[in-house]
Structure 1
Amino acid sequence: MTELVKHPNLDEITGIVGQIPLLGVDDLYLLGEVWTNTAEVASARDRALDPECPLVVDVLRTFESITTTFRDTLADAEHPDAANDGLKALRDAVAGAFARPTLSRREYKVLLRPWRTAFPVPRLDVGDLGIITPYF
């Protein structure tokens, strides 16, 4: 798979990425509260970011965009460590969504757990763009 528009998990990818500009520091705190860097999460992340994974370059570009988007938010945060953990949870969700076709069900779930716990219902509706889908 070489094109995002042909990705079988496109709805979830755009659902997560489309909400990034709407996230504030309180959202990062919420994500950070439920994120943990266990061995299982680290292993799933390693598989999701494997150079052979589909569209891994797009994942890394999205990570760069996340860093740029939240640079000032992180600098101004009352609790920068908690906000930084939230960014890690956000990156894990992005990596998991992109890598879903190559991950086991368990790997996928551990990467998406903080996102789905913090945001069980999408908060963005853009109609025909396919941004909103239920997360299964």
Structure 2
Amino acid sequence: MTETETAIPRPALLLGWAGVIPFAAFAFATALELRLPGLRPEPILLAYAAAILSFMGGAQWGLAIGEAPVDGQRLAVSVIPALLAWTALLKPLDTGLLLCLIAFLGLLAYDMLTVRQGRSPAWYGTLRLQLTGAVVGCLALALVFD
């Protein structure tokens, strides 16, 4: 494998890490008990986690439709994160955050499987490990201090 195949494209790296900023901001706001008038950071964190979890499932959908023939199982797996995210929004806050945390880890495992199978770019696995590690850390921080 060449460096070009394993190097994370700069836009993906920058935009991926930019997407971690709200996770970090609201997790630290939770830990430091920072509040805006009438707003708690935990529900905002949960809503953002649900949105990003749905988006990450969509990434697998996009990779699946580029395959010939299209893999129905991969398409099915790609919608599970959105369903879990929606379920997390219907649960009590702590349960919802924990469900998102577990779903991010589960999707990471699936993403890494597709990288090992050569069905996702090699760099995608590296990026997903970095970003999911940060996201899971932020969700865990919020859970500990909520």
> What TM-score, normalized to structure 2?
0.35
Larger Rg: 2
| Larger helix proportion of the pair | 2
> What TM-score, normalized to structure 1?
0.37
Q: Whose RCO is larger (CA < 8 A, sep 6+)?
A: 1
